[in-house]
Amino acid sequence: MKHFHYFLLLAFTFLYSCKKDNQGDGKCKVTSIGYTFNSQIHSDGIVNYDEHGNLSGMTSSSEATFPSFSLEYLQDTVKIFSRENDYIYPLNAQGKVTKVLFQAISFNYGSDGFIESMTIDRDRLKFSYHEGNLVKITQEKYLPYLFKTTFTFTYNLNEKAVDLLSATNPLYYSLPHPILLPNTRYFGNTSKNQLKSVEILTEDTYYQTKQVSTYNLSYKTESKKITSLHLIENILGKKSDKLYDFKYECE
């Protein structure tokens, strides 16, 4: 599996309201997001909802920074449409994503409702959990003499998980990029705490070399709502600084 990182198609899965248990005094939803890259490039996105309050898409001020997209919800499928790609997620009888059409990605769930493993092409990725959080994904290569990748996650254990961007979803980091993901509720039981950091270790088992990429997330909260996310990336020695600012509308 090749692990791509694209600046042009960033971290936007969906922009949901607050924490998983609905933080704040009332029901809130994100209405816009500002994005700043390395303190220089800035753009904005307007978040759209349907008459039922479900996310229907986002309109971006700069497609070169992050993509506009729209969603379609069917009984057995979630579809995401962007200018670059379409992403189609079939659901099983329990409403969980089983695969990503046209991308050779499939998910297997355990009896506890958590993702047990994922297959990308011929590679199998095994998921490991501790106290309700996904702590490690280990890639088992189809051809063992090729690269092996391990994803390690840490959490703010005093904070509950959030669904603001794909960058706050551990699953995002293990998937081929670019990709837009549906809400974590479509992936069964997910990590209960707020994602703090990610380390991606790639090992060449033939030449015995290693490469490391890291992602560190910090959050700013006001009135029990996350108002900004600061993401510092170090991808194979190349550093970048990303700041996301969120505006809300509350009932």
Torsion of CA 168, 172, 174, 178, to 10 degrees: -140
Residue 192 lies in a domain: yes
**Domain presence at residue 53:** yes
d(Cα 66, Cα 6) in Å, to the nearest integer?
10
165, with CB counted inside 10 A (0-12, 13-18, 19+), is buried
> Cβ(16)–Cβ(30) under 8 Å?
yes
Pairing of strands 41-49, 28-37: antiparallel
> Does residue 13 lie in a domain region?
no
**Burial environment of residue 47 by CB neighbours within 10 A (0 to 12, 13 to 18, 19 or more):** buried
* DSSP annotation string for 198-219: EEEEEEETTTTEEEEEEEEEEE
| Enclosing domain of residue 246 | 28-250
The answer to the question of residue 11 being in a domain is: no
List residues bridging with 97 in a β-sheet.
91
Residue appearing with tokens 């809130």: 28
Domain of residue 76, CATH code? 2.40.160
Overall number of domains in the chain = 1
Chain centroid offset of residue 52 CA: 24
Q: Which helix (H) or strand (E) holds 105?
A: strand 105-109
pTM of the full structure: 0.87
pLDDT in tens, the chain (251 residues): 333 333 223 334 444 434 444 433 458 889 999 999 998 878 899 999 998 888 999 999 988 777 899 999 999 999 999 988 899 999 999 999 999 998 899 999 999 999 999 999 888 999 999 999 999 999 877 666 677 899 999 999 999 999 888 899 999 999 988 888 888 999 999 999 999 999 999 988 777 789 999 999 999 999 889 999 999 999 988 999 999 999 999 87
Is 156 contained in some domain? Answer: yes
- Distance (Å, whole) CA 83 – CA 68: 7
Question: Is the distance from CB of 168 to CB of 162 less than 8 angstroms?
Answer: yes
Asked, for residue 168, whether it belongs to a domain, the answer is: yes
Residue 67, domain member (yes or no) = yes
Say how far apart CA 134 and CA 171 lie, in whole Å. Answer: 9
| Residue 36 within any structural domain of the chain | yes
